[in-house]
Amino acid sequence: MMSKWHFSLRAFAQGILCVALTGILLHALASPATAQATQTLDLISLSSSNWTPIGPAPLSESKFNSVSGRVTGIAAHPTDANTIYLSAAGGGVWKTTNGSSWTPLTDAQKTLSMGAIAISTSNPSFIYAGTGEAYGGNFGRGILISSDGGSTWTLSTASGVFDRLGTSQIAIDPTNTNVAYVAMSDVELNDLCCSNTGIWKTTDGGTSWTNTTTTIDSTDPWSAVMIDPNNPQTVYAAVGQTFGVTANGVYKSTDGGGTWTLLPRLCAETRLGTPVA
Protein backbone atom coordinates (compact mmCIF):
# COMPACT_ATOMS: atom_id res chain seq x y z
CA MET A 1 0.00 0.00 0.00
CA MET A 2 1.24 3.49 -0.84
CA SER A 3 2.38 5.40 2.23
CA LYS A 4 0.70 8.66 3.28
CA TRP A 5 3.89 10.47 2.30
CA HIS A 6 3.84 9.08 -1.25
CA PHE A 7 0.11 9.76 -1.47
CA SER A 8 0.50 13.38 -0.39
CA LEU A 9 3.11 13.96 -3.09
CA ARG A 10 0.84 12.50 -5.76
CA ALA A 11 -2.55 13.83 -4.71
CA PHE A 12 -4.44 17.13 -4.79
CA ALA A 13 -5.31 18.72 -1.46
CA GLN A 14 -8.76 17.12 -1.72
CA GLY A 15 -7.07 13.71 -1.67
CA ILE A 16 -7.59 12.98 -5.35
CA LEU A 17 -4.83 10.63 -6.47
CA CYS A 18 -4.10 11.92 -9.94
CA VAL A 19 -0.53 13.12 -10.22
CA ALA A 20 0.82 9.57 -10.28
CA LEU A 21 -1.68 8.39 -12.85
CA THR A 22 -0.06 9.91 -15.87
CA GLY A 23 -1.01 8.82 -19.38
CA ILE A 24 0.67 8.58 -22.78
CA LEU A 25 -0.62 8.17 -26.30
CA LEU A 26 0.62 5.96 -29.12
CA HIS A 27 0.04 6.49 -32.80
CA ALA A 28 0.74 3.67 -35.28
CA LEU A 29 1.85 4.83 -38.72
CA ALA A 30 1.77 2.71 -41.84
CA SER A 31 5.25 1.23 -41.69
CA PRO A 32 6.71 -2.24 -41.00
CA ALA A 33 8.23 -1.11 -37.69
CA THR A 34 4.99 0.25 -36.30
CA ALA A 35 3.08 -2.70 -37.69
CA GLN A 36 5.32 -4.93 -35.58
CA ALA A 37 4.74 -2.66 -32.59
CA THR A 38 0.99 -3.00 -33.10
CA GLN A 39 1.32 -6.79 -33.02
CA THR A 40 3.50 -6.87 -29.92
CA LEU A 41 1.23 -4.53 -27.97
CA ASP A 42 -1.27 -7.37 -28.05
CA LEU A 43 -3.54 -6.04 -25.31
CA ILE A 44 -4.29 -2.79 -27.11
CA SER A 45 -5.43 -2.18 -30.68
CA LEU A 46 -3.52 0.78 -32.10
CA SER A 47 -5.12 2.95 -34.74
CA SER A 48 -3.25 4.05 -37.87
CA SER A 49 -5.19 7.31 -38.03
CA ASN A 50 -5.81 8.35 -34.41
CA TRP A 51 -3.86 8.52 -31.15
CA THR A 52 -4.57 5.70 -28.71
CA PRO A 53 -4.24 6.23 -24.93
CA ILE A 54 -2.31 3.35 -23.35
CA GLY A 55 -2.26 4.54 -19.73
CA PRO A 56 -1.74 4.72 -16.88
CA ALA A 57 -5.35 5.85 -17.14
CA PRO A 58 -6.57 9.23 -15.86
CA LEU A 59 -9.26 9.50 -13.22
CA SER A 60 -12.81 10.65 -13.88
CA GLU A 61 -13.71 13.13 -11.15
CA SER A 62 -16.75 15.40 -11.06
CA LYS A 63 -14.90 18.60 -10.15
CA PHE A 64 -11.99 18.30 -12.58
CA ASN A 65 -13.47 15.88 -15.14
CA SER A 66 -10.82 13.48 -16.47
CA VAL A 67 -7.52 14.36 -14.86
CA SER A 68 -3.98 13.04 -14.81
CA GLY A 69 -0.53 14.29 -14.02
CA ARG A 70 2.03 15.61 -16.48
CA VAL A 71 4.34 13.28 -18.38
CA THR A 72 7.79 14.85 -18.59
CA GLY A 73 9.55 12.13 -20.56
CA ILE A 74 9.13 8.87 -22.47
CA ALA A 75 11.85 6.31 -23.21
CA ALA A 76 11.06 3.33 -25.43
CA HIS A 77 13.13 0.17 -25.50
CA PRO A 78 15.05 0.16 -28.81
CA THR A 79 14.22 -3.45 -29.70
CA ASP A 80 11.21 -4.42 -27.55
CA ALA A 81 8.06 -2.48 -28.45
CA ASN A 82 6.35 -3.74 -25.29
CA THR A 83 8.77 -2.03 -22.92
CA ILE A 84 8.30 1.69 -22.27
CA TYR A 85 9.44 3.91 -19.42
CA LEU A 86 7.90 7.25 -18.54
CA SER A 87 8.76 9.99 -16.08
CA ALA A 88 5.90 11.77 -14.33
CA ALA A 89 6.16 15.34 -13.07
CA GLY A 90 5.06 14.29 -9.60
CA GLY A 91 4.79 10.52 -9.84
CA GLY A 92 8.26 9.09 -10.34
CA VAL A 93 9.31 6.60 -13.02
CA TRP A 94 6.87 4.04 -14.41
CA LYS A 95 7.43 0.99 -16.64
CA THR A 96 5.26 -1.19 -18.83
CA THR A 97 6.30 -4.47 -20.45
CA ASN A 98 3.00 -5.13 -22.20
CA GLY A 99 1.63 -1.71 -23.13
CA SER A 100 -1.30 -2.10 -20.74
CA SER A 101 -0.24 -2.44 -17.10
CA TRP A 102 2.25 -0.09 -15.45
CA THR A 103 4.57 -0.47 -12.45
CA PRO A 104 6.05 2.41 -10.41
CA LEU A 105 9.81 2.01 -10.04
CA THR A 106 11.01 4.85 -7.84
CA ASP A 107 8.63 5.10 -4.87
CA ALA A 108 11.53 4.50 -2.47
CA GLN A 109 13.66 7.34 -3.87
CA LYS A 110 14.21 10.78 -2.30
CA THR A 111 11.78 12.51 -4.65
CA LEU A 112 8.99 11.61 -7.07
CA SER A 113 9.40 14.83 -9.04
CA MET A 114 10.81 13.93 -12.46
CA GLY A 115 11.98 16.02 -15.38
CA ALA A 116 13.38 13.65 -18.01
CA ILE A 117 14.25 10.05 -18.79
CA ALA A 118 16.47 8.31 -21.34
CA ILE A 119 17.33 4.72 -22.21
CA SER A 120 20.63 3.56 -23.64
CA THR A 121 20.32 2.17 -27.16
CA SER A 122 23.56 0.21 -26.82
CA ASN A 123 22.54 -1.30 -23.46
CA PRO A 124 18.76 -1.00 -22.89
CA SER A 125 19.07 -2.10 -19.26
CA PHE A 126 20.78 1.22 -18.54
CA ILE A 127 18.39 4.08 -17.68
CA TYR A 128 19.07 7.71 -16.72
CA ALA A 129 16.16 9.49 -15.01
CA GLY A 130 16.50 13.16 -14.12
CA THR A 131 14.68 14.32 -11.00
CA GLY A 132 13.13 17.77 -10.73
CA GLU A 133 10.59 19.00 -13.27
CA ALA A 134 12.13 21.90 -15.18
CA TYR A 135 10.24 25.17 -15.54
CA GLY A 136 7.92 25.49 -12.61
CA GLY A 137 7.69 22.00 -11.10
CA ASN A 138 9.22 20.74 -7.86
CA PHE A 139 13.00 20.74 -7.61
CA GLY A 140 15.02 17.55 -7.92
CA ARG A 141 17.77 15.74 -6.03
CA GLY A 142 19.97 14.55 -8.89
CA ILE A 143 20.06 11.93 -11.64
CA LEU A 144 18.72 8.45 -10.90
CA ILE A 145 20.67 5.74 -12.73
CA SER A 146 19.68 2.10 -13.18
CA SER A 147 21.74 -0.65 -14.80
CA ASP A 148 19.07 -3.34 -14.46
CA GLY A 149 16.05 -1.98 -16.28
CA GLY A 150 14.75 0.03 -13.34
CA SER A 151 14.83 -2.65 -10.65
CA THR A 152 17.38 -0.72 -8.59
CA TRP A 153 18.59 2.88 -8.71
CA THR A 154 21.58 4.97 -7.68
CA LEU A 155 21.23 8.70 -7.12
CA SER A 156 24.01 10.70 -8.77
CA THR A 157 24.29 14.27 -7.48
CA ALA A 158 27.57 15.59 -8.95
CA SER A 159 28.86 15.95 -5.40
CA GLY A 160 25.68 17.72 -4.36
CA VAL A 161 25.62 20.23 -7.22
CA PHE A 162 22.40 18.80 -8.73
CA ASP A 163 20.49 18.98 -5.45
CA ARG A 164 17.48 21.34 -5.79
CA LEU A 165 17.91 21.79 -9.54
CA GLY A 166 15.65 20.46 -12.29
CA THR A 167 16.39 18.25 -15.31
CA SER A 168 15.20 19.47 -18.70
CA GLN A 169 16.53 16.67 -20.91
CA ILE A 170 18.98 13.76 -21.01
CA ALA A 171 20.96 12.47 -23.99
CA ILE A 172 22.94 9.22 -23.95
CA ASP A 173 25.74 8.47 -26.42
CA PRO A 174 24.30 5.78 -28.73
CA THR A 175 27.66 3.99 -28.82
CA ASN A 176 28.69 4.28 -25.16
CA THR A 177 26.32 3.88 -22.22
CA ASN A 178 28.76 5.57 -19.86
CA VAL A 179 28.64 8.85 -21.79
CA ALA A 180 25.61 11.04 -21.20
CA TYR A 181 24.63 14.70 -21.09
CA VAL A 182 22.00 16.38 -18.93
CA ALA A 183 20.51 19.84 -19.37
CA MET A 184 20.03 21.36 -15.93
CA SER A 185 17.53 24.09 -15.04
CA ASP A 186 17.08 26.38 -12.04
CA VAL A 187 13.51 27.68 -12.34
CA GLU A 188 11.77 25.07 -10.18
CA LEU A 189 9.72 25.66 -7.02
CA ASN A 190 12.01 26.34 -4.03
CA ASP A 191 15.10 25.64 -6.09
CA LEU A 192 18.60 27.07 -5.79
CA CYS A 193 18.36 29.87 -8.31
CA CYS A 194 21.10 31.14 -10.51
CA SER A 195 23.97 28.70 -10.16
CA ASN A 196 25.30 25.44 -11.61
CA THR A 197 22.96 25.24 -14.58
CA GLY A 198 24.34 24.02 -17.89
CA ILE A 199 25.04 20.95 -19.97
CA TRP A 200 26.70 18.48 -17.66
CA LYS A 201 28.55 15.44 -19.04
CA THR A 202 29.53 12.11 -17.56
CA THR A 203 31.97 9.65 -19.12
CA ASP A 204 31.80 7.05 -16.36
CA GLY A 205 28.10 6.21 -16.12
CA GLY A 206 27.21 9.00 -13.70
CA THR A 207 29.97 8.57 -11.13
CA SER A 208 31.31 12.04 -11.92
CA TRP A 209 30.05 15.01 -13.96
CA THR A 210 31.61 18.04 -15.66
CA ASN A 211 29.78 21.23 -16.61
CA THR A 212 30.70 21.78 -20.27
CA THR A 213 29.03 25.19 -20.64
CA THR A 214 30.38 27.33 -17.82
CA THR A 215 31.88 29.79 -20.31
CA ILE A 216 28.43 30.38 -21.84
CA ASP A 217 25.93 30.51 -18.97
CA SER A 218 25.62 28.79 -15.61
CA THR A 219 22.86 30.91 -14.08
CA ASP A 220 19.96 30.53 -16.55
CA PRO A 221 18.02 27.36 -17.36
CA TRP A 222 19.34 25.06 -20.08
CA SER A 223 16.26 23.65 -21.77
CA ALA A 224 17.48 20.92 -24.12
CA VAL A 225 20.32 18.65 -25.16
CA MET A 226 20.50 16.19 -28.07
CA ILE A 227 23.19 14.01 -29.64
CA ASP A 228 23.53 13.54 -33.38
CA PRO A 229 22.77 9.80 -33.79
CA ASN A 230 25.15 9.61 -36.76
CA ASN A 231 28.04 11.32 -34.97
CA PRO A 232 27.98 11.19 -31.15
CA GLN A 233 30.66 13.87 -30.93
CA THR A 234 28.15 16.36 -32.31
CA VAL A 235 25.87 17.67 -29.58
CA TYR A 236 23.18 20.35 -29.68
CA ALA A 237 21.94 22.24 -26.63
CA ALA A 238 19.79 25.23 -25.80
CA VAL A 239 19.49 27.97 -23.20
CA GLY A 240 15.80 28.74 -22.80
CA GLN A 241 15.14 31.46 -20.27
CA THR A 242 11.42 32.16 -20.69
CA PHE A 243 11.75 35.92 -20.25
CA GLY A 244 14.71 36.22 -22.58
CA VAL A 245 18.42 36.60 -21.81
CA THR A 246 21.48 37.29 -23.91
CA ALA A 247 22.56 33.65 -23.79
CA ASN A 248 19.25 32.30 -25.13
CA GLY A 249 19.78 30.24 -28.25
CA VAL A 250 20.86 26.89 -29.69
CA TYR A 251 24.50 25.84 -29.38
CA LYS A 252 26.46 23.17 -31.24
CA SER A 253 29.51 21.20 -30.21
CA THR A 254 31.50 18.99 -32.56
CA ASP A 255 33.90 17.70 -29.93
CA GLY A 256 31.63 16.12 -27.34
CA GLY A 257 31.01 19.28 -25.38
CA GLY A 258 34.61 20.49 -25.35
CA THR A 259 33.69 23.69 -27.17
CA TRP A 260 30.38 25.24 -28.23
CA THR A 261 29.27 27.55 -31.03
CA LEU A 262 26.10 29.65 -30.98
CA LEU A 263 23.95 28.92 -34.04
CA PRO A 264 22.02 31.72 -35.81
CA ARG A 265 19.22 32.83 -33.52
CA LEU A 266 15.55 32.33 -34.32
CA CYS A 267 14.35 34.28 -31.31
CA ALA A 268 15.61 35.41 -27.92
CA GLU A 269 12.59 35.32 -25.63
CA THR A 270 11.41 31.75 -25.47
CA ARG A 271 12.00 28.28 -24.10
CA LEU A 272 13.90 26.22 -26.65
CA GLY A 273 14.04 22.56 -27.62
CA THR A 274 16.47 20.89 -30.03
CA PRO A 275 15.10 17.90 -31.95
CA VAL A 276 17.74 16.07 -34.00
CA ALA A 277 16.94 13.63 -36.80
Is residue 90 situated within a structural domain? yes
Q: What is the mean pLDDT of residues 132-153?
A: 93
Is residue 123 situated within a structural domain? yes
Is residue 41 situated within a structural domain? no
**Residue 191 CA: distances (Å) to CA of 38, 243, 277:** 42, 18, 33
48 band by pLDDT with thresholds 50, 70 and 90: confident
Q: What is the pLDDT of residues 94-115, one digit of tens each?
A: 999 998 889 999 999 999 999 9
Classify strands 84-88 and 92-96 as parallel, antiparallel or unpaired.
antiparallel
256 band by pLDDT with thresholds 50, 70 and 90: very high
Query: Which is more confidently placed, 58 or 123?
Result: 123
How much of the chain, in percent, has pLDDT values that exceed 70? Answer: 73
Is residue 57 situated within a structural domain? no
153 band by pLDDT with thresholds 50, 70 and 90: very high
Residue 41's pLDDT is what? 47
Strands in 154-156's sheet, in edge-to-edge order, are: 114-119, 127-131, 143-146, 154-156
Q: What is the pLDDT of residues 57-93, one digit of tens each?
A: 665 655 666 666 789 999 999 999 999 999 999 899 9
Is residue 12 situated within a structural domain? no
Is residue 47 situated within a structural domain? no
Structural domains counted in the chain? 1
Is residue 35 situated within a structural domain? no
Q: What is the mean pLDDT of residues 220-244?
A: 92
- 8 Å CB contact between 236 and 199: no
Q: What is the mean pLDDT of residues 224-248?
A: 92
Task: State the chain's mean pLDDT as an integer.
Answer: 81
Give the CATH number for residue 240: 2.130.10.10
How much of the chain, in percent, has pLDDT values that exceed 90? Answer: 59
Is residue 197 scored above 90 in pLDDT? yes
Is residue 210 situated within a structural domain? yes
Classify strands 249-253 and 235-239 as parallel, antiparallel or unpaired.
antiparallel
CB-based contacts of 88: which residues, under 8 Å, 6+ apart? 19, 20, 22, 69, 70, 71, 72, 94, 112, 114
Residues in the chain, total: 277
Residue 180's pLDDT is what? 98
36 band by pLDDT with thresholds 50, 70 and 90: very low
Q: Provide the domain limits for residue 140.
A: 71-262
Is residue 39 scored above 80 in pLDDT? no
Query: Which is more confidently placed, 247 or 117?
Result: 117
